[in-house]
Copies of this chain bind each other. A is one copy, B any other.
Amino acid sequence: MSGWLAIAGLGPGDEALVTPEVRAALAEATDVVGYIPYVARVAERPGLTLHASDNRVEIDRSRHALDLAASGRKVVVVSSGDPGVFAMAAAVFEALEAGPSVWRALDIRVLPGVTAMLAAAAKVGAPLGHDFCAINLSDNLKPWALIEKRLRLAAEADFAMAFYNPRSKSRPEGFARTLTILQDACGDDRPVIFARAVSTPEESIRIVPLSQCTPEMADMRTMVLVGSSTTRIIARDGAPIVYTPRSVPA
């Protein structure tokens, strides 16, 4: 019996954004491992065991998944979005590197998905249509000083920016500091997009000038996108379109 491990991205929430590749892996799996709300998106069926665990136990969850695969099970670790962007793939490889050498012989695949920043961008137009960066604003696993340094350099580079995990109950301060840094570092009043629960029934989208942004506009389900200096808004009767042109004049 030959086990395998697939680390799969379920996309931002809408089932129409789950790739056929991920569907096929779930259909073959004997075990699905992941954070409670993501495992809840997988339909139960005979022969499939669902292993849901809480937040912040990513390494334990990874070791469990690797153990199951090593014992011959067909295991899918589920992430929302893309598993390689602030999600489970890095955690599984951290566990693998620190674990028994037999894990290195496992059949492991990463199955990409539609990550939250791309789904959020699509909802308003194309704010990431030119060079951009993606930053995880949580300082649980890195020093805040590094986040601050990256924010200042990203502003100087005039990247559009995508922020994952902007704010949570246990980290109420960081996003306020982020806004202060950007309001200071960006010499203009560029558009900021607050995209909450994108592609789910609770979706809400706000477009706010940087000068008018306040910390409570974001929570742990919000993706925040910040335009570059060239990002434009097209006014319409309906929702405006926000996009960053492909060209930057010399």
Contacts and interface: CB of A to CB of B under 8 A. Distances in A.
Interface of A: 11, 14-21, 24, 58, 82-86, 89-91, 93-94, 96-97, 104-105, 108-115, 118-119, 121-123, 125-136, 141-143, 146, 149-150, 153-154, 156-159, 232, 234-237, 241, 243-248, 250
Given A85-B118, A150-B159, A237-B105, A110 B125 contact: yes
A141 B245 CA distance: 10
A197 B131 CA distance: 21
Dominant SS among interface residues on chain A: mixed
Contacts of A96: 234, 241
A94 to B, nearest CB: 5
Given A85-B118, A93-B125, A157-B149, A136 B143 contact: no
A122 to B, nearest CB: 4
A78 to B, nearest CB: 14
A118 B114 CA distance: 9
Nearest to A88: B126
